């Protein structure tokens, strides 16, 4: 079980990870979910090993949505409105030929 992050902690940690990769924010996809394994590794086909990705569990879905919006505002791909009231994970991953998108 991952530790729960405040909105600011989650945003800061994901942004730092994206900046470490060195590419533009537009090369990254972000979203929210209640089931990180199913969404990230199943739906989006993100490899579990040797792939740039980050996910954080927030205090609630509102905090996760706010982090998602901030990532979108910074230029990440994705769109608001996903998930439901239980979606407390926010995630971002580097889009590659194997991910969807």
Mean predicted lDDT score pLDDT of the chain: 96
Q: Domain residues for 30? A: 4-94
Count of the separate structural domains present in the chain: 1
Domain assignment present for residue 41? The answer is yes
Domain assignment present for residue 72? The answer is yes
Count Cβ atoms below 10 Å from residue 26 Cβ, excluding itself.
Answer: 11
Domain assignment present for residue 88? The answer is yes
Residue 70 Cα to chain centre, angstroms: 11
Q: Given the DSSP bridges, would you call strands 53-58 and 4-5 parallel, antiparallel or unpaired?
A: parallel
Domain assignment present for residue 100? The answer is no
Predicted confidence at residue 82, as pLDDT, reads: 85
Predicted confidence at residue 2, as pLDDT, reads: 66
Domain assignment present for residue 55? The answer is yes
Predicted confidence at residue 35, as pLDDT, reads: 97
User: What are the tokens at 65?
Assistant: 């949505």
Give pTM, 2 decimals.
0.95
Domain assignment present for residue 54? The answer is yes
- Beta partners for 55? 91
Confidence of residue 88 (pLDDT cuts 50, 70, 90): very high
């Amino acid at each position: 079980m991952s530790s729960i992050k405040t909105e600011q902690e989650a945003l800061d940690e994901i942004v730092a990870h994206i900046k470490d990769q060195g590419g533009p924010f537009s090369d990254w996809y972000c979203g929210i979910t209640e089931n990180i394994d199913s969404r990230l590794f199943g739906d989006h086909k993100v490899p579990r090993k040797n792939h740039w990705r980050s996910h954080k569990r927030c205090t609630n879905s509102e905090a996760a949505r706010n982090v998602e919006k901030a990532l979108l505002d910074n230029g990440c791909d994705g769109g608001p409105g996903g998930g439901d009231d239980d979606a407390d994970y926010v995630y971002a991953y580097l889009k590659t030929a194997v991910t969807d998108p």
